[in-house]
Amino acid sequence: MKDINDILAKHFSGETDPEEVRLVAEWKLKNEAEYAALSDAWKEADTDLLGNLEFKTFDHKSAWDKVDSKLINHKDVKVIKLKFYRNVAAACAILLVGLTGFWFLNKGSGFESVSNMANAPQEISLPDGSTVWLAANSTLDYKLDFVTDRSLKLDGEAFFEVARDEEHPFIIATEMGDVEVLGTAFNVDASSESTIVSVDHGKVALRNQSQEIKLTKGQSANSTEVGISQIEEVKINYDSWKTGVFNFSDTPLDEVVSLLNKHYDTKVELMESAKVDAAFNGSFDNAPIDVIIESIVLTCDVEADTGDDMIRLR
């Protein structure tokens, strides 16, 4: 039987095969508290915490030794994976020294949690028939009795295609405001500082403690601690992280890089030596990242260095 330590590490990096998905599901049923805390904790983990700590169900030393040996034998393994496995082990250290209690005090046991640790968008089917595309480094919590209580919490970015149910409003809680709908499609980009809602079709209500605003197709608004902004047209690339379709029109190069990094596995870094005030033009429909970078190099007077799963623009 496969080692659950290795499988969990692969699971949180989005690399499990169908058989491993089944094994994780079985393990999760018996260890729901640990799974929920682990999925949240790994992002904040510090490898210095590993030390001599021992865990109940996840043997980090065994998992790391096996992963490390594989990395030695396969030199083409991505550098980003090495960093991830260390983070998973460190997250488990936090897990067994008190984070489980903190998790349930703050969220309660009536939620299911899904975290996307992969670099690509993750499609999720909710119990009510709604579909969510969860962006990288994002977490979605939803009620276990979701069909009758369609309450969610989002940390990060996601695109929602909501199944219509007039008796059960679909409500998304974020740090800077709540979003309520009956049936529609829209994008939510939620951080600790703002919540940006962009509507594809249908009608959405964005509200905070003092305001509420209604948005329809093609409209966007931003909720922060100072209030909700005026309604604007959605930005042309608001869902490019999901679709892979980019339309750049005199777009600042730093914004181009930020958008590309939301969609592609290979990350792009804009070095200080590059002309950060340069603007870029071009349209791309699921083009390879190399094609876009070549176009940037030719039109923006920059050079590209490639290595270690990273493209650096100078």
Which CATH architecture group holds 112-233?
Sandwich (2.60)
Provide the angle, in degrees to the nearest 10, between the axes of the packed helices 32-41 and 79-94: 130
Domain 244-313: state its class.
alpha beta
Tens digits of per-residue pLDDT, 71-87?
A: 444 434 333 333 444 44
- Sequence ranges of the domains in the chain: 4-109, 112-233, 244-313
pLDDT of residue 110: 79
Nearest CA among 56, 66, 64 for reference residue 35: 56
48 near 93, Cβ under 8 Å? no
pLDDT of residue 162: 96
Q: Would you state the structure tokens that stand for residue 180, as one six-digit string?
A: 């309520």
Most confidently modeled range among 22-36, 83-97, 168-182: 168-182
Task: Average the pLDDT over each of 62-71, 158-167, 193-202, 279-288 and give the range with the smallest value.
Answer: 62-71
Phi, psi (degrees; rounded to nearest 5) at 300: -115, 10
* pLDDT(236) > 70: yes
* Pairing outcome for strands 185-190 and 177-181: unpaired
Task: Average the pLDDT over each of 80-84, 147-151, 161-165, 231-235 and give the range with the smallest value.
Answer: 80-84
Q: Would you state the structure tokens that stand for residue 153, as one six-digit string?
A: 């919490």
Longest distance between any two alpha carbons in the chain, whole Å = 58
Nearest CA among 154, 153, 214, 149 for reference residue 184: 214
